[in-house]
Structure 1
Amino acid sequence: MLGARASRLARTPASALFWRIVVMNGLLFTIGLTVLALSPATVSSPVLLTEVPILLIGLALMIMVNAFVLRNSLAPLSALTTLMERVDLLRHSDRIAHNGNGDLTTLIATFNSMLDRLEAERSASTAHTLAAQEAERQRIARELHDEIGQSLTVVLLGLKRAVDRAPDDLREELHTVQETVRASLDEVRQVARRLRPGVLEDLGLLSAMSALASDFSQMSGVPVARVFDPRLPEVSSDVELVIYRIAQEGLTNVARHAHASRVELSLCADDGDVVLRITDDGDGGPIREGAGIRGMRERALLVNADLTIEEAPGGGLRVRLAVPVTKERA
């Protein structure tokens, strides 16, 4: 047990650096003693002026060797610090490359493994959270449609009978109430449809995206130019739901913050990826990542997709989601 513990300690970056410095200094001292013992050079007491250059050369050589060893051994720490400062588990973080040698190789490999583990745990946790969220949305949508929707339908039918039998002086007021209830029923159905996109399950992704664009234009008054590729590769239902939800959140952000006069919604195949683009001509400006954008990034991680949000060339913002589609997934 002690031998195994000593072996683990010997492989740590600190112990490797320690032994390298000890060996280098020992080698320098050995060379210095050999030179003093076998050559005519001597060191007097007190030191003579002619001996000072020899001592200075030896000291400078020792400092240079130590500086070289420390510089090469600790150089990866700068890259490691930079990566630590920019790590974001909602984005695909890069890794520090290591070539299999050096004193900090074990530290770098451990840090990269830690990032892999944290990203995997975050993805699993996000998957469970979003699955529970989708289940709750479906439950609320069913209750809105089956209970509140049916109740409003019964009220609407009762009002129709009351309007038919009401005197002329009340018929106008009852008709106004009837229209209000009908508008409320339509709003309930729209909310239920946004919570549970039944068209996505029944008619597929392209039809669901087209219906989403129509609903957005109807609510916001902003026209949507649609560019859909009918030859999209087949993807799983989870990928379809992620694409739909990110498009839904992107259009919602446009309606709330962009003050746009035109939006382009694109869904195409591009070099083996399914690419979603949402481009508006609104205000643009600095991108503030609130709960909506963080939710989009969390969903993108579930399908190993790349989500970028940037300013569009002509003004406004552009959201781009690239979902890799492999043969196995298709």
Structure 2
Amino acid sequence: MRVLSRLGRLPLYWQVCLINGAVFVAGTLALVLSPASVSEQVVLSEALVLVVGLGVMLLTNALLLRRSLGPVDRVVREMGTVELTQPGGRLTEHGDGPGGRLVHSYNAMLDRLESERSTSNARALAAQEAERHRIAQELHDQVGQGLTVVLLGLKQVHARAPAELDAELRLVRDSTRAALDDVRRVARELRPGVLEDLGLASALAALCSEFAVHGGARVRRTIAPGLPPLGADRELVVYRVAQEALTNAARHAQATEVEVSLSRLGPEVVLEVRDDGRSTAAIVPGSGVLGMRERALLVGGRLGVEGGAGHGTTVRLALPLEETPQQSPQQIPEQTR
């Protein structure tokens, strides 16, 4: 055992050389010291001895090399299938030889990559939210107020304008009012103030209502009663995932009916957005799906997207609860549109 332990500390190259050398030396000694011999015309019994000896050498060599090279193959296979967007998969570590050290280093590398990826994604998403907030503020304070001044000016002009300009001024006023409504709607989408002021249930209700008006699809929403508070970060993730799923349903799936549900299943709060739009047999993740998945990972959640030809698409976000005795569940009545 002490010899094997020392052998395990050697580089992999020298381990292979020593193992193969030991096997060949043992085979040579067996031929020299045993009564077996080979004549000029090899008979069946001699050929049988040679074949058996060769088989024993190959089997011994394979068993000795398996301990050193087996982990290398496991790491190679895992590297071909690893997904950083689906963390958690690690190889089992065995021994302290080169193979064991390789597996340990590989697992440590995955831990480091996932940590760095999570940190960079958190910074990117925080910067994205800050930029959304800034743009929404600019739209509200600059563009929105400017359009409001234009509307007031058109109203005064319309009061003093001759009758023959009435129709044209009304058209301009209606266009300006529609542009102002669009600016306010975009500002609300960029910065969901209702989420901060009234909570997740009201924000989802407003989001579904606005989607039903502008997205052209019928929306049913169901929010289960007794959901515990999720915290500002998790509520924002739920809202953004629902927003992106609804946008995809209108923009890509061309859905006519969408169902949004938020419920508690065991130790998790689950958001599901189902649509009856067109879908392919395999869902190919785009930037929208990857963005939703990154948001879910930042708060310890899981995001799945399922779909099939003729069956629509289902986006499912599961967030584990971290309940404490201080938490008091809020009563949210079921709503259906």
Question: What TM-score results when the alignment is normalised by the length of structure 1?
Answer: 0.85
The answer to whether 1:218 aligns with 2:197 is no
Residue in 2 that maps onto 1:323: 319
Q: CA deviation at 1:324?
A: 1.5
Say which SS state the counterpart of residue 227 (structure 2) adopts. coil
| Residues 242-297 of structure 1: per-residue CA shift (max 9 Å, x gap) | 11111111111111111211001111111211111111011111323222112112
Amino acid at match of 2:298: L
Aligned partner of residue 258 in structure 1, secondary structure: coil
Aligned partner of 1:256 in structure 2 is 251
Aligned to 1:130: 125
Q: 1:169 to 1:287 in 2, by over 3 A?
A: same
Query: In the superposition, relative to structure 1, how do residues 48 and 163 fare at CA in structure 2: closer, same or farther (>3 Å)?
Result: closer
The answer as to whether partners of 1:13 and 1:107 remain within 8 angstroms in 2 is: no
Name the counterpart of 1:10: 9
Q: Which of 264, 275, 290 in structure 2 is aligned with 1:294?
A: 290
Task: Give me the whole-angstrom Cα distance separating, in 2, the residues matched to 1:116 and 1:12.
Answer: 25
Partner of 2:252: helix, strand, or coil?
A: helix
2:7–2:15 CA contact under 8 A, matched in 1: no
* Equivalent residues in 2 for 1:134-149, closer than 5 Å: 134-149=129-144
RMSD of aligned residue pairs (Cα, Å): 2.9
Report the Cα distance in structure 1 between the residues aligned to 2:157 and 2:124, rounded to whole angstroms. Answer: 47
**Counterpart residue type for residue 126 of structure 1:** N
Aligned residues of 2:72 and 2:102 also touching (Cα < 8 A): no
Match of 1:309 among 302, 305, 311: 305
Give the drift of 1:299. 1.3
Alpha-carbon shift at residue 97 of structure 1 (Å): 2.4
TM-score, structure 2 as length reference: 0.84
Q: Please list, as runs of the form range in 1=range in 2, the aligned pairs for 1:132-171 lying within 5 A after superposition.
A: 132-171=127-166
Structure 1 gap ranges (5+): 1-6
- Between the aligned partners of 1:276 and 1:14, the Cα distance in structure 2 is 53
Letter of the 2:292 counterpart: M
Whole-angstrom CA distance in 2 between matches of 1:55 and 1:144: 87
For the Cα contact (< 8 Å) 2:20–2:61, is it kept in 1? yes
**1:104 is paired with a residue of what secondary structure?**
helix
Q: Following TM superposition, by how much is the alpha carbon of 1:189 offset from its aligned partner in structure 2, in angstroms?
A: 0.3
How far apart in 2 are the matches of 1:228 and 1:146? 34
Aligned to 2:53: 58
Inter-partner Cα distance in structure 2 for 1:20 and 1:310 = 51
Residues 267 and 275, structure 1, Cα contact 8 Å, conserved in 2: yes
Please give the secondary structure, in 1, of the residue aligned with 2:314.
Answer: strand
Check conservation: 1:9, 1:15, Cα contact below 8 A.
no
CA contact (8 A) 1:305 1:324 kept: yes
Q: Deviations over 1:86-114 (max 9, x none)?
A: 22222225222234477622211211111
2:220 alignment partner, SS class: strand
> What is the percent sequence identity of the aligned residues?
47
What secondary structure does 2:306 align onto? Answer: strand
Q: State the distance in 2 between where 1:80 and 1:255 align.
A: 42
User: C-alpha displacement at 1:74, in angstroms?
Assistant: 3.2
Counterpart Cα distance in 1 of 2:166 and 2:36? 123
What SS does the corresponding residue of 2:305 show, helix, strand or coil?
strand
2:334 corresponding residue in structure 1: none
C-alpha deviation, 1:55, in angstroms: 4.9
Q: Does 1:281 align with 2:276?
A: yes
What is the distance in 1 between the residues matched to 2:283 and 2:36?
72
Residues 79, 8 of structure 1: alpha-carbon distance in 2 compared, 3 angstrom cutoff: closer
What letter corresponds to residue 210 of structure 1 in structure 2?
A
Q: CA deviation at 1:8?
A: 11
Size of the aligned set, in residue pairs, is: 319
